[in-house]
Copies of this chain bind each other. A is one copy, B any other.
Amino acid sequence: MMPASLLDQLVDALRVLPGVGPKSAQRIVYQLLQRDREGAAKLARTLADALTQVKHCTRCNTFTEAEICERCLSPQRDPAQLCVVEMPSDLAVMESTQAYRGLYYVLMGRISPLDGVGPRELQLDQLLARATDGLVEEVILATNFTNEGEATAHYLGEMLRARGLRVSRIARGVPVGGELEHTDLGTVAQAFAERRGW
Contact = CB atoms under 8 A, between A and B. Distances in A.
A54 B17 contact: no
Given A10-B47, A28-B17, A48-B44, A108 B34 contact: yes
26 contacts: A5-B65, A6-B49, A7-B54, A9-B49, A12-B46, A13-B45, A14-B43, A16-B31, A16-B32, A16-B36, A16-B40, A18-B27, A30-B87, A30-B88, A30-B108, A33-B51, A33-B63, A37-B51, A40-B47, A40-B51, A43-B47, A44-B48, A44-B51, A45-B48, A47-B47, A48-B48
Given A30-B88, A88-B30, A50 B6 contact: yes
A39 interface: yes
Contacts of A40: 16, 47, 51
A26 interface: yes
B87 A46 contact: no
Interface string A66-91: 00000000000000000000011100
A44 B47 contact: yes
Nearest to A27: B18
Contacts of A33: 50-51, 54, 63
Nearest to A47: B44
Interface residues of A, number: 44
A41 interface: yes
A166 interface: no
Given A9-B50, A16-B32, 10 more contacts: A6-B53, A10-B46, A12-B46, A13-B43, A16-B43, A17-B43, A27-B89, A32-B47, A40-B51, A41-B51
A109 interface: yes
A44 B44 contact: yes
